[in-house]
Amino acid sequence: MEALAGSALRGASPFLGGAKAALNPMAVRPPQFAPKVKRVIYLHMSGGPPHLDLFDYKPELVKRDGQLAPDDFIKGKKFAFTTGTPKLMGTPRQFTQHGREGIWISDAAPHFQSIADELCVIKSMHTDQFNHAPAELLLFTGSPRQGRPSLGSWVTYGLGSENENLPGFVVLISSGVQPSAGSSAWGTGFLPSVFQGVQCRSKGDPVLYVGDPPGMDRAMRRQTLDALRSLNELQAAELGHPETATRIAQYELAFRMQASVPEVMDISREPANVLEAYGAKPGEASFANNCVLGRRLLEQGVRFVQLFDWGWDFHGTSPKEDIRNGLTEKMARTDKPVAALIRDLKQRGLLDDTLVVWGGEFGRTPFREGRTAASEVLGRDHYPDAFSLMLAGGGVKHGISYGETDELGFSVVKNKVHVHDLQATILQLLGFDHTALSFRFQGRDFRLTDVHGQVVNDILA
């Protein structure tokens, strides 16, 4: 494992741990300091939810609906599909305050309203990218270009996995389309590939090709793997390549998954009242089903669960992208299972040491999108300068709204939180100094936050 010896965690490799760690790259490893959470479930709404119609209420923007956007706010800026001087668009949604601290949440998310006291809503997020793929890459890998390890890979690299029969990092996708960043959003980049996210499915075979072919029973599979292991160990001893150890570990994990995955992925084992709370239906492919699966995976010791849901690009190019009925329909399939997930984790005693994240890769403009400005369908363009994101669970303050944007929603004016700051904060909650969790590659120590990032201490409990 000589290549792994180049990794750095305050000057020491997290793989230093004797023969067990050398033979099992996913062995449990301690964090740098006492963590607030043990696991993460990240719910990514791919496309960029319209935060101005969900969390960031702007009465002044509503008053000035239809007016030309002030030149001071748009001068020199580039937008994905808007040119010239667009018209401001106030939200058509009805906003009310909820919870002890009066968090503003729109009527599009009634189930979020009901769990307001569990939420930490950050209204001052911002990013550097205004197109989907680079924005998702920046959010999940720390760089807008391909080739860097993903957030979930960094977490499992640092902590290992608590269940040797399941992957440490699992990915679930709904709405039929992969995120714009593709598998790079859960890839390992230059980290050993054992830390890559494993994509599972809520319909059909949970993991493709994990089953044995016709004519091969479990005993024969064991004999085959034993022979392959002996050959790989000879190669590992001779060449010392870390991917050889990864290959051994992945073959063995796949063998164990043949027995463990079908059971944990079978949501029909859940009581009817639990399925009803989530809006889940066994046998279907849906976000609700994935939320149930996410909880079951967390219960079984999976370290990082990542859900991707497609269809949040509310440009207004079709009725599905309208911030009125389109958003109502999309949220109806989303906020109920998310609220149920948070309640379920709390009821099972898991919420205190689990971090739940909900959000997109950027926000939406305070004005109408250029291509659809004359349409009856209301939509907004991509917007990197300000957006909202929701946290819940261990280590973060509950029932609060953090940060502010200006009265029209163009810029963050209080408590800016960059995506690198979010990454640093997630690692902090897991027990890591983000500047010290690194991996040496091509002569440089790389980390998730690159040379950026500040922990958002104000939101920590």
Q: Can you say how many angstroms the Cα of residue 60 is from the centroid of all Cα atoms in its chain?
A: 32
In the predicted structure, residue 252 carries a pLDDT above the cut 50: yes
Does residue 230 or residue 347 have the better pLDDT? 347
CATH superfamily of 4-206+265-459: Alkaline Phosphatase, subunit A (3.40.720.10)
- The percentage of residues in the chain with a pLDDT greater than 70, rounded to a whole number, is 87
What pLDDT sits at residue 205?
64
Q: How far is CA 138 from CA 131, 135, 184, in A?
A: 11, 5, 11
Q: Which pLDDT band holds residue 239 (cuts at 50, 70, 90)?
A: confident
In the predicted structure, residue 259 carries a pLDDT above the cut 50: yes
Which two structure tokens, joined as six digits, stand for 207? Answer: 């993991």
Q: Which pLDDT band holds residue 13 (cuts at 50, 70, 90)?
A: very low
In the predicted structure, residue 4 carries a pLDDT above the cut 50: no
Dihedral of CA atoms 308, 39, 36, 345 in degrees, nearest 10, equals 80
Q: Which pLDDT band holds residue 3 (cuts at 50, 70, 90)?
A: very low
Determine the average pLDDT of the residues in 175-199: 93
The per-residue pLDDT of the chain, averaged, comes to 89
Distance, in Å, from the CA atom of 426 to the CA atom of 260, rounded to the nearest integer, reads 29
* Buried-state track 115-140, b at ≥16 Cβ within 10 A, e below 16: bbebbbbbbbbbbebbebbbbbbbbb
What pLDDT sits at residue 330?
97
- In the block, tokens 């917007």 appear at 383
What pLDDT sits at residue 169?
95
Q: Is 96 helix (H, G, I), strand (E, B) or coil?
A: strand
Q: What's the predicted TM-score (pTM) here?
A: 0.89
In the predicted structure, residue 61 carries a pLDDT above the cut 70: yes
Residues 99 and 116: beta-carbon distance below 8 Å = yes
Residues 218 and 212: beta-carbon distance below 8 Å = yes
In the predicted structure, residue 209 carries a pLDDT above the cut 90: no
Determine the average pLDDT of the residues in 215-234: 72
Q: Beta strands 39-46 and 304-310: pairing type?
A: parallel
What pLDDT sits at residue 253?
63
Task: Count other Cβ atoms within 10 Å, centred on residue 369.
Answer: 26
In the predicted structure, residue 15 carries a pLDDT above the cut 50: no
What pLDDT sits at residue 234?
78
Q: Can you say how many angstroms the Cα of residue 192 is from the centroid of all Cα atoms in its chain?
A: 21
The upper half-sphere exposure of residue 253, i.e. CA atoms within 13 Å in the direction of its Cβ, equals 22
Distance, in Å, from the CA atom of 89 to the CA atom of 420, rounded to the nearest integer, reads 30
Boundaries of every domain in the chain: 4-206+265-459
Determine the average pLDDT of the residues in 155-177: 91
Task: Count other Cβ atoms within 10 Å, centred on residue 380.
Answer: 28
